[in-house]
Amino acid sequence: MATFLIAAALLVAATLLVLLRPWRRAAQAAESTARDANTAVYRDQLAELDRDLAAGTIQAADHEQARGELQKRLLADAEVAEPAIAPRSSGRGTMVALAVALPLLATGLYAWRGNPAALNPPAPPAQRGEVTQQQIEQMIAALAARVEKNPDDPKAWMVLARSYRAMGRPADSAKAFEHVGAEMLDRDPVLLTEYADVLATTANGDLQGKPLKLVQQALAIDPNNAMALSMSATAAYQRQDMKTAAAQWQQLLPMLPPESDYAKFIVQTLAEIRSGTAGAAASAPVASAARASASAATAATAANKPAAGTATSVSGRVTLSPALASKVQPGDTVFVFARAPQGPRMPLAVKRGLVSDLPMDFVLDDSTAMSPQFKLSSVPEVRIEVRVSRNGSATPSTGDLIGQGPVVKPGATGVAVQIDQIRP
C-alpha cells in the first residue's frame, strides 16, 4: 500500500508541476513588464534632459537639479509595491486552486471508480475468520464448561459427545453420552451405536456388556442399521457365535460398496465360517479387539449413510505412501477430515480409523459433522485431508503424517487421498 501511495503522490506532483508552470511564468512576465515600462519612461526623460542641455535650452544647474529629481522619483517608485494587476492576481488564484483541487479530485475519482480495498494487504488467517485446531479445542472446552453449568441440555451434551468422539477422546465422549438422557438416546439408533462404539473403544474393543446392549437397542429400533449390524456381528464373532455373526454379516453385506475392504473382509469371513475354519480366528482377538471395534464402527457407519454419490456425502479411499510405511505403527490413529477450501478451517465432517485399516474406504456426510450448524451439505466444495497421529490426539503436532486430496463437490465418489507428507 505504501508503494502505491508514494507513486500516486509523485504522479500528482508531476501533474501539478506541468500545469502550474505556465501560470507561474505568466505572473513573472506581468511583473517584469510593469517594471520595465517604468524604467523605460525614466530613461526617456533623462535622455531628453541630456538633449536639452546639449542644445543649450537649459542651464547646467537646472539640468543637474532635474536629473536628481528624476532619480529620486525612480528610486521611490521602485520601493513602492506595484498595485496587483489582473493577470498576476488571476494567475496566483488559479495556481492555488489547482494545487488544492487536483489531489482532492484524484483521490475522489479513485475512491469512486478504483478499488480502495485492494490497498489493504490480506489479513493473516486468524483475522480472516479461519478456525485453527487450537480454536476448535477452545470451542469444545467452552461448550463443556457451558453444559457443566447447565446440565439439563441433552442436545448440547450430544454435540459435546460427538465432538469428543470425532477428536479421538472416547473416554470423554462416553462421559458426555451419559448426560444425553434416555429420552433422546432410546429413540435414536445412530446415537445408541455411537455410544456403544466409544464404550467399546475405552474397553480395548470389547463389545460385550453395555456396548452390546446399546447395539441391540439400536437394532430393535432399526433392524437394518448398518453400524449396529456390524458391531453386533463382530460381538457374536468374538464370543464364537458363528451362526449369529454369519446371519448379521450376510444382512449387512448388500449395504456395503462391493469393492470396499470391509465388504471383502466379510466375504472372506463368511467363507471361513461355512468351511468351519473360523473358530481358531474367533478364539483370538479379531485382528486385535481395538481394531475390530474401530473397523466395525468405521465401515458400518459408512454403510449406514446415504449412498455414496448423493449430494450430502463424499466417498473415497485413503492410502499410505510406501516411502512412509516405516514411520507409522498399526495402532496409530487416522483422521479423515472434510474441510471447506475457503473460509473457516473447522472440519465439516470427520472419520477416525487406524493405520492397520489402511488402505481405508471412507464416506463423509452430515452425520459425521462436528457441529449441527456446520455441515458438509452446507458448502459447494470440500477438500479431503488426512492426518496420522501417534498419540490419537485431534490436535496436529510436528511429525504427524498428512495427505491432501483434491477439491470436490458434495456427491463425489472415488476420491483418492494418499498420506505422503510429514508435518513440519
Query: Which one is predicted more confidently, 303 or 349?
Result: 349
Model pLDDT, residue 81 = 45
What are the pLDDT digits (tens) for 325-360?
Answer: 899 998 899 999 888 877 666 778 888 889 999 999
Determine the average pLDDT of the residues in 369-391. Answer: 80
Dihedral sign, CA of 45, 50, 52, 57?
Answer: positive
What are the pLDDT digits (tens) for 216-225?
Answer: 999 999 998 8
Query: Which one is predicted more confidently, 269 or 394?
Result: 269
Please tell me the distance from the alpha carbon of residue 165 to that of residue 394, in angstroms, as a whole number: 10
pTM greater than 0.85 = no
* 8 A C-beta contact, residue 186 and residue 217: yes
Query: Which one is predicted more confidently, 269 or 11?
Result: 269
Decide: residue 41, CB within 10 A, 0-12 exposed, 13-18 middle, 19+ buried: middle
Model pLDDT, residue 358 = 92
At 359, list the grid cell. Answer: 488402505
Query: Which one is predicted more confidently, 243 or 68?
Result: 243
Determine the average pLDDT of the residues in 290-306. Answer: 45
Scanning the structure block, which residue is given the C-alpha cell 450430544? 158
Determine the average pLDDT of the residues in 79-85. Answer: 48
Model pLDDT, residue 27 = 53
359 preceded by a cis bond (ω within 30 of 0): yes
pLDDT(282) > 70: no
State the average pLDDT for the chain: 75
Model pLDDT, residue 296 = 46
3-state secondary structure string, the chain?
A: CHHHHHHHHHHHHHHHHHHHHHHHHHHHHHHHHHHHHHHHHHHHHHHHHHHHHHHCCCCHHHHHHHHHHHHHHHHHHHHCCCCCCHHHHHHHHHHHHHHHHHHHHHHHHHHHHCCHHHHCCCCCHHHCCCCCHHHHHHHHHHHHHHHHHCCCCHHHHHHHHHHHHHCCCHHHHHHHHHCCCHHHHCCCHHHHHHHHHHHHHHCCCCCCCHHHHHHHHHHHHCCCCHHHHHHHHHHHHHCCCHHHHHHHHHHHHHHCCCCCHHHHHHHHHHHHHHHCCCHHHHHCCCCCHHHHHHHHHHHHHHHCCCCCCCCCEEEEEEEECHHHHHHCCCCCEEEEEEECCCCCCCCCEEEEEEHHHCCEEEEEEHHHCCECCECHHHCCCEEEEEEEECCCCCCCCCCCEEEEEEEECCCCCCEEEEECEECC
Please tell me the distance from the alpha carbon of residue 97 to that of residue 176, in angstroms, as a whole number: 73
Model pLDDT, residue 166 = 77
pLDDT(40) > 80: no
pLDDT(56) > 80: no
pLDDT(142) > 70: yes
Model pLDDT, residue 25 = 58
Split at pLDDT 50, 70, 90, the class of 67 is confident
Determine the average pLDDT of the residues in 284-310. Answer: 43
* 8 A C-beta contact, residue 338 and residue 323: no
Split at pLDDT 50, 70, 90, the class of 13 is confident
Model pLDDT, residue 386 = 93
Determine the average pLDDT of the residues in 144-164. Answer: 86
Scanning the structure block, which residue is given the C-alpha cell 451405536? 193
pLDDT(313) > 80: yes
Determine the average pLDDT of the residues in 281-309. Answer: 43
Model pLDDT, residue 173 = 87
Please tell me the distance from the alpha carbon of residue 235 to that of residue 308, in angstroms, as a whole number: 27
pLDDT(295) > 50: no
Determine the average pLDDT of the residues in 291-309. Answer: 45
pLDDT(233) > 70: yes
Q: Average the pLDDT over each of 240-244, 253-257, 301-305 and give the range with the smallest value.
A: 301-305
Model pLDDT, residue 257 = 76
Pairing of strands 415-419, 313-320: parallel
Determine the average pLDDT of the residues in 79-100. Answer: 56
Model pLDDT, residue 370 = 64
Model pLDDT, residue 319 = 93
Split at pLDDT 50, 70, 90, the class of 287 is very low
Query: Which one is predicted more confidently, 211 or 128?
Result: 211
Model pLDDT, residue 213 = 93
Model pLDDT, residue 388 = 92
